[in-house]
Amino acid sequence: MHETDRGGPGPDGEGMRCPEGIRHFATRHLDALHDALKLTSGQQSAWKAYRDAELVRFDKKPQGPEEPKELSAPERLEKMIADLGKHQQELNATLAVTKKFYAQLTPEQQKIFDRESAPRHPPRGGEGRKAPPPPQP
């Protein structure tokens, strides 16, 4: 696969749009987080549940255009709303597992978890992506 097929290289040259590349990056990140947290044996089962919940998100096939282009604008919006509802349910499930794991951590481990689980990319339209200047009359 070429870099352009994967959406370009991510950190360390990994493809960040290819599902395998994203899962590989997530696995490496979770392994590093596990090491940084220095978990006790009593925390391992909560870690495994958290890790499994995180990785399940990357086992899904990427969502692409599944329906015919003939959908009307209202039908497309209804589908988008339904998809958002599914995504919200998945996030709520991940939140529940994360809260359970987080409660097992010491205050120092919580600081590490907070720091290491923070988003590592600028928001869309963030740094380096400026809106084009308005057209000149």
pLDDT single digits (tens) 90-112: 999 999 999 999 999 999 999 99
Task: Evaluate whether residue 124 is within a structural domain.
Answer: no
Task: Evaluate whether residue 129 is within a structural domain.
Answer: no
Task: Evaluate whether residue 126 is within a structural domain.
Answer: no
Beta bridge partners of 9: 15
The total domain count for the chain is: 1
Nearest partner of 40 among 107, 105, 122, judged by Cα: 105
Q: pLDDT tens across 21-40, in order?
A: 788 888 999 999 999 999 99
Task: Evaluate whether residue 122 is within a structural domain.
Answer: no
Task: Evaluate whether residue 93 is within a structural domain.
Answer: yes
> Is the separation of the CB atoms in 98 and 53 below 8 Å?
yes
Task: Evaluate whether residue 28 is within a structural domain.
Answer: yes
Q: What angle do CA 71, 75, 78 make, to 5 degrees?
A: 145
Task: Evaluate whether residue 105 is within a structural domain.
Answer: yes
Global pTM exceeds 0.85? no
Q: pLDDT tens across 73-85, in order?
A: 899 899 999 999 9
Domain containing 13 equals: 3-62+70-116
